[in-house]
Amino acid sequence: MKKINFKLILVCIIAICTLILVWYVTIKPLFLNKTPEFETYNKLFNNNNKIALNSDSYSIISKTGTNKDKKTDLKFEFSGTDTIWEIETMKETKVTIDLKSKIENGKFKLVLITPSNDVINLCNKSAKKSKSITLKPGKSKIKIVGLSAKGTLSLEIKPTNEKEILHLTPITKGIEENKAETK
């Protein structure tokens, strides 16, 4: 009966695991960025006309958290555009948006779409700030825009005059309801 060399087997397993890890960290991302889907979202990320469309286009790996009571707490991994709030006003209205984003990977931005489809950039990548904006009458939207983006977002919408807001509607499609971790 042949004796099994466990040391040799262990060395082979370690070598194979090391090769897989090197491939996963260095080579695999190069191929992912060449896919047609990546190219579609890459073009979308920098195109304000497409970002401003009423419809969203996205590929979500994960999106967890809450979006209610004028507050958003999300943990996400996605590419594309995703509307998270709709704000309808009857006249010019000032709101303050307190936000904190921490992006681990990819490209990310938070934008406001005005009723005339202008795109206002609220933040890029990781940020912690408070931004005051005067909303025009009509329906505005807040969207997250990502390109292989992975991270967290917390925000709170604070209207100066609640009576001037007709609707402040959270869009919760695709959110798994549990508290996202924010740091």
Residues 88, 26: one domain? no
Mean pLDDT of 113-141: 95
pLDDT of residue 45: 92
Count of structural domains, the chain: 2
- What is the distance between the alpha carbons of residues 72 and 65, in angstroms, rounded to a whole number? 8
Residues 172, 97: one domain? yes
Residues 84, 164: one domain? yes
The fraction of the chain above a pLDDT of 70, given in percent, is 87
Domain assignment present for residue 1? The answer is no
pLDDT of residue 91: 93
Residue 173 pLDDT > 80:
no
**Closest CA relative to residue 108, chosen from 96, 126, 94, 120:** 126
Residues 112, 91: one domain? yes
Residue 48 pLDDT > 70:
yes
Residues 107, 18: one domain? no
Supply the Cα-derived Rg of the chain in whole angstroms. 21
Domain span at residue 12?
Answer: 6-32
Domain assignment present for residue 183? The answer is no
What CATH number should be reported for the domain holding residue 64?
A: 2.60.120
Domain assignment present for residue 49? The answer is yes
More confident residue, 29 or 150: 150
Residues 90, 173: one domain? yes
From residue 168, give the alpha-carbon distance in Å to each of 8, 16, 43, 80, 88. 64, 54, 30, 23, 7
pLDDT of residue 28: 52
- Mean predicted lDDT score pLDDT of the chain: 86
Mean pLDDT of 138-151: 95
The answer to which of 23-27, 43-47, 86-90 has the lowest mean pLDDT is 23-27
Residues 72, 16: one domain? no
Mean pLDDT of 146-175: 89
Residues 78, 125: one domain? yes
Yes or no: say if 141 and 131 are a contact pair by the CB < 8 Å rule.
Answer: no
Domain assignment present for residue 154? The answer is yes
Residues 24, 74: one domain? no
Residue 152 pLDDT > 80:
yes
The fraction of the chain above a pLDDT of 90, given in percent, is 57
Residues 162, 130: one domain? yes
Residue 19 pLDDT > 50:
yes
Bridge partners of 110, per DSSP, are 123, 144
